[in-house]
Amino acid sequence: MRAIKTAVLLFLCLWITTGLIYPALVTVIAQLAFPQQAAGSLIRLSDGSAVGSRWIGQAFTDPKYFWSRPSATADFPYNPLASGGSNLGPTNKDLWQQVAARVKSLQESGMSGPLPSDLVMASGSGLDPHISLEAALRQVPRVAQGRQFKEDKLRQLLQDQGEGRQWGFLGEPRVNVVQLNLALDKLDAHGR
């Protein structure tokens, strides 16, 4: 009986420490030190309404917008509850069919020549909101035509919205498509 009492007390002690105190402490520290990130890095409009997260992509299909990297989430594009890659290897026929369909769709939209891989292949998480600057630049003619903008104005917007390599040496220069399209709408609202 003594062993059971000790085990129950130890369980309660560990449960209170690891299930209540530790999570509460980490939450308080995160809210104080990183309030934006702890709240989900939400992107808000000037009226305060949330339109997305800085870390989760969204599906854009209108030719007047820059298109995101494809999502690997199966049921609903960019579904954070289904985050994860497709697990299709480079020799899988299904992957080749998906990529071929995406290439065909992009070519039908007016893009020609070799396409940047981030326009035809999903990221590891399937939720990536970023595309390379090269992929965004390839979309400038379509977006300019759809919005009746000059291409130079869109290239300048890309430079303004672009992010460099992570820590100065990792990855490629990129742009967050959700934020880019919000800036594009703002630019359109304030006159071309």
Name the nearest CA neighbour of 115 among 127, 123, 104.
104
Does the model's pTM come out above 0.85?
no
* Segments making up each domain of the chain, as ranges: 2-36, 41-189
Q: How many Å is the Cα radius of gyration of the chain?
A: 22
Highest mean pLDDT out of 50-54, 89-93, 178-182, 186-190: 178-182
Compute, in degrees rounded to 10, the torsion defined by CA atoms 23, 41, 178, 80.
10
Provide the pLDDT for residue 159.
Answer: 92
pLDDT band at 53 (very low <50, low <70, confident <90, very high): confident
The answer, yes or no, to whether residue 192 has pLDDT greater than 70, is no
The answer, yes or no, to whether residue 74 has pLDDT greater than 80, is no
Q: Give the C-alpha separation, 168 to 129, whole Å.
A: 20
pLDDT band at 66 (very low <50, low <70, confident <90, very high): very high
Retrieve residue 171's tokens: 């990855």
Provide the pLDDT for residue 92.
Answer: 86
The answer, yes or no, to whether residue 84 has pLDDT greater than 80, is no
Provide the pLDDT for residue 56.
Answer: 85
Provide the pLDDT for residue 26.
Answer: 94
Provide the pLDDT for residue 189.
Answer: 65
The answer, yes or no, to whether residue 120 has pLDDT greater than 90, is no
Retrieve residue 107's tokens: 């070519």
Provide the pLDDT for residue 131.
Answer: 93
Q: What are phi and psi of 50, to 5 degrees?
A: -80, 135
